[in-house]
Structure 1
Amino acid sequence: MINVIPSGKALCADVEGVDLSEPMDGNTLKLIIDAWSQHLVLRFRDQKLSDQALERFSARLGKLDAAPMYTAGTRVDVDSDFVTVISNVKIDGKPIGDLGDGESLWHTDMSYNEVPPMASALYALEIPATGGNTGFSNMYLAYETLPDRLKHRIASMQCKHDASRNSTGGRRGDYPDVTNPKDAPGAVHPIVRTHPTTGRNALFLGRRLNAYVMGLSLEDSEALLDDLWDHATKPELTWHQEWKVGDLVLWDNRCVMHRRDAFNGGERRIMHRTQIAGDKPVYVP
């Protein structure tokens, strides 16, 4: 018996009564997908997942995306092309995963790609005693509650999403430092994105660092993006996950942004993530 319990906040629900390590029938999968479409973020507690089981569940939702490029110097030892290690743990002085222990700023996973992933599933293997919580923001509501003047202004605008830095500010691969956001590498996407399944419009901001609104002066771009980010991350639009070992959280990158709190670097945090392939963002007025 599956039970879906809404968080009471702007997004997220707990899904009880399902073991994601076991084969899943079509009816169960449909219930999960329906709840996901309604609540945007789902949490499954007390799971015991191998990387293969994590892949298997994620692949029921769509084709898996390959793991993204890690920060330079990361040494990952995972027998999967589709599992990304998010960790601050180091072995022989080298990190075994990405994103360390610092704050991870509001972002959408891999929005710098021409075709970003539609979803991410993050599974907790080890967590610190405090900190490292993850916040999520409802980008449907962020768009719908924008002042009319901003809605009209951004209707046909596009934004460049920087590929050179990750969400903690670490340099990705061998990309050079960006000194002018206009010159940043990365894909250009509409600021308002139409969800291909629900048909609803959402803000699609990606990440703030080195973002640039095409066609504007740098000063005007920065001012507009500051306004949009301030609005999209208001507390009433968010929900925050306090992690427990065995939690799996699934979210829709097409209508959700997320961030992470910093935590004590002397404590271990190991998370494994999969990503489901998506579609090129478009805006349908």
Structure 2
Amino acid sequence: MDIETSVQAASHSSPVEIVQTGGPLGAEIRNVDLKHLDDSAFTALLGAFHAHSVLLVRGQSLSDQDLIAFSRRFGDLDWAPVQENGRRFVDGLPEIYIVSNVKVDGEAIGSLGAGEAVWHTDMSYLDTPPIASALYALEIPPVGGNTSFCSMYAVYDALPSDLKRRIADLKIKHDGTYNSGGFVRQGVTPTDDPRTSPGAIHPLVCTHPDSGRQMLYLGRRRNAYLVGLDLAESEALLDELWTYVARSEFAWEHAWKVGDLVIWDNRCTMHRRDPFDDHARRIMHRTQIKGAERPH
């Protein structure tokens, strides 16, 4: 990390530090305890969130109630989707979603396992996707399981002018069949025809409601479909756009430590996860801030 600024919080003896990653997105927030965050410090944190899209706060010690309380400062929370087995993740706390490969008595305590989670935007298959996601690390494998984030501002800005013109008015269907780990969602009949699969339709190019910047809103690749195009034309154009997502200059990779909290703007980023050894344990708890409007 190579760029540092300080914001003096009125009631703090030391300033909130905002340390940029040096990449196209992301900043680490230092000198904060998320359980005791006053309004001035939160204002600084929120400004950094809008400026950098992804925030990392290390060294936290949060209960599920603490995680929920912090997340609620960004807005109302979504209830987590049910597990593949049809149950809630945490009894009495429907806001908590568990990302884990751990099994107890042969039954998974969470979702997504130990495999790769491909590039995606959370819940983009909904009419009103969440504004943001917060992920808190409880147990981390010794290697693997890193999470990378991609700036969809930077991806859009890098597109050639003629390609921007081609996609300016297109709409994209976001598949609701599979999650980012490749598992079929609860209650959904599997299909691999993107024209008939369930999912919301959103503009391919959207404007961020807070920053006013334009961004590419791809969601995820599997079963995506550009509405109104022949399937072959849709596939070819999507493949072309996804080549930009794969470029490392638009991404920042985070290697997790226990006690890390990362919150990202779900509207203007995508993220992915590296696989890890399924014999190692990884337990993450996630909340999501409820969407306020459809992407546009």
**TM-score interval for Structure 1 and Structure 2 normalised by the shorter chain:** over 0.9
2:104 aligned with 1:91:
yes
Write the distance in 1 (CA, Å) between the matches of 2:85 and 2:118.
19
Q: CA deviation at 1:230?
A: 1.1
User: How far off its partner does 1:70 sit?
Assistant: 2.8
Q: Pick from 24, 33, 38 the counterpart of residue 10 of structure 1.
A: 24
Contact 1:194/1:281 (<8 A) preserved? no
Distance 1:77 1:274 in 2: 12
Alignment RMSD: 1.2
Unaligned 5+ runs, structure 1: none
- Structure 1 residues 187 and 58, CA gap change in structure 2 (3 angstroms): same
- SS of corresponding position for 1:250: strand
- CA deviation digits over 1:203-243, x for unaligned, max 9? 11111111111001111111111111111231000000100
Q: Determine the C-alpha separation between the residues in 1 that align with 2:245 and 2:163.
A: 12
Query: Which secondary structure does the structure 1 equivalent of 2:195 belong to?
Result: helix
Structure 2 residue 67 is matched with structure 1 residue 54: yes
Which one-letter code corresponds to 1:153 in the other structure? R
Q: Give the alignment's TM-score, normalised by structure 1.
A: 0.96
SS at match of 1:182: coil
Per mean C-alpha deviation after superposition, the further-off stretch among 141-150 and 109-118 is: 141-150
- Aligned match of 2:178: 165
Q: Is the 8 A contact 1:118 1:252 kept in 2?
A: yes
Amino acid at match of 1:235: S
Cα deviation, 1:2-32, whole Å, max 9, x if unaligned, reads 101001011111000000122x222111100
TM score, norm. by length of structure 2: 0.93
Range 98-107 or range 223-232, more displaced: 223-232
The separation in 2 between residues aligned to 1:38 and 1:234, in whole angstroms, is: 22
Query: Hey, what does 1:246 align to over in structure 2?
Result: 259
Hey, what's the Cα distance between the residues in 2 that align with 1:170 and 1:75? 17
Q: CA deviation at 1:174?
A: 2.2
In structure 2, give the amino acid aligned to 1:256. T
C-alpha contact (below 8 Å) 2:128/2:295 kept by paired residues: no
Maintained 8 Å contact 2:98/2:286 = yes
Bigger shift: 134-143 or 173-182?
Answer: 173-182
- CA shift digits 1:10-65 (9 cap, x unpaired): 1111000000122x222111100111111110000000000000000000011111
Distance 1:36 1:80 in 2: 26
Whole-Å separation in 2 of the counterparts to 1:184 and 1:69: 20
> Paired residue for 1:271?
284
2:119 maps to 1:106: yes
Rounded Cα–Cα distance in structure 1 between residues aligned with 2:188 and 2:22: 42
Q: Do structure 1's residue 209 and structure 2's residue 222 form an aligned pair?
A: yes
CA distance in 1, matches of 2:162, 2:174: 24
Give the number of aligned pairs. 282
Work out whether residues 138 and 258 of structure 2, in 8 Å CA contact, stay in contact via their aligned partners in 1: yes
